[in-house]
Amino acid sequence: MKTIQVQLDQRSYSIQVEPGLINNIPEILSNHNHGQKWIIISQYRLMEFFGFDLQLNLKNAGFDCDFITVPVGEAAKSLNEFSRIISQMIDMRCDRSTTILALGGGVVGDIAGFVASSFMRGIKYYQIPTTLLAMVDSSIGGKTGINTAEGKNMVGSIYQPKGVLVDPDLLNTLPREEVISGLGEIIKYGAIWDADFLNNISIWLDDLNSFPLDKAVEKSCTIKADIVSKDERENGLRQLLNFGHTIGHALEAHLGYGRIRHGEGVALGMKCAGWISSQLGILDKNQFQNLTTTIDKLTLPKLPHMDPNTILSFVKNDKKIRNGILHFIVLDQLGKGNICETVSDDLIINSLKVIQ
């Protein structure tokens, strides 16, 4: 088993990565079971795939375990769903000792984590990611949230899990499109942090059927754990993880949640951010081309005609705007991200030509 530490003093926790790990969860959590209620928050389809077996195994091991399901897609990250989950937990007689198991992708992890952060002023939770994107990104670092009409994750908190349990075998049930979405986030880690990793990813993408997902997951988790350990509250270094996300989130909001997957939006946003970096004269044009070539090895959706001004309006609502200044992530070179405060509206609008 590969164990990666997120070092946050009293809030430190481990990311455990091992094929078949889901079958060992009762044993892994046994020392944390003190007779409290355990709640699996998931989607019904995932309960059929893995959740009901997990619940049975936990019950057989002496856990008092129940479950709550949420809708598929971003619809789950709403104030209505948040309220419904809280009501169900109260009906189930949950209390401050209750522990949540977030079994699912980024959507499940975000809403379950936000519930954990706010139910009775905060209870414990574990992330059990079931998608590639969640394994390498959203399950790590404690970001939780729900959406509003104005944008993604406009309401939320940073609330760290007690642990992240990653079973790469769960990826065998994913459709190809979900794998592609997760690969967008994996490319991000190479682009902002490790040029050699990015080069390996580019080579691996030449044959997706033999892509070493286990190795890529471990490396991505290690990079994110390192960054989060150094900057939990996103005051500086952690902002690099937003590379591709400013325009990516705007694409998601403009096209409609569910019309484009998060990792696809990030991949397209990275092409725009790479172009902006080259136009600012800080990223060599050959390196920009290398980044674009790698991203283009993914099978990304063809975008419909978009109104650039509408995209810009969503960017203006982005959480990365502080004191009226957009903190946009650019590349000084491949493997070295940076924060730029001088990206103009015109650059953002013109960058959209790269993806249409």
Catalytic residues, by residue number, are: 121, 143, 185, 224, 234, 238, 242, 245, 249, 262
CB 18 within 8 Å of CB 1: yes
- Identify which of 124, 151, 128 has the alpha carbon closest to the alpha carbon of residue 53: 128
**Nearby residues of 92 by Cβ (< 8 Å), 6 or more positions away:** 37, 39, 66
> Which residues on adjacent β-strands are paired with residue 99?
38, 124
Encoding tokens for residue 170? Answer: 């769960």
* Calpha distance 29→174 (Å, rounded): 26
**Got the DSSP string for 197-248?**
HHHHHHHHGGGGGG--HHHHHHHHHHHHHHHHHH-TT-SSGGGGGGTTHHHH
- Tokens 């982005």, residue located: 318
- Tokens 């990565």, residue located: 17
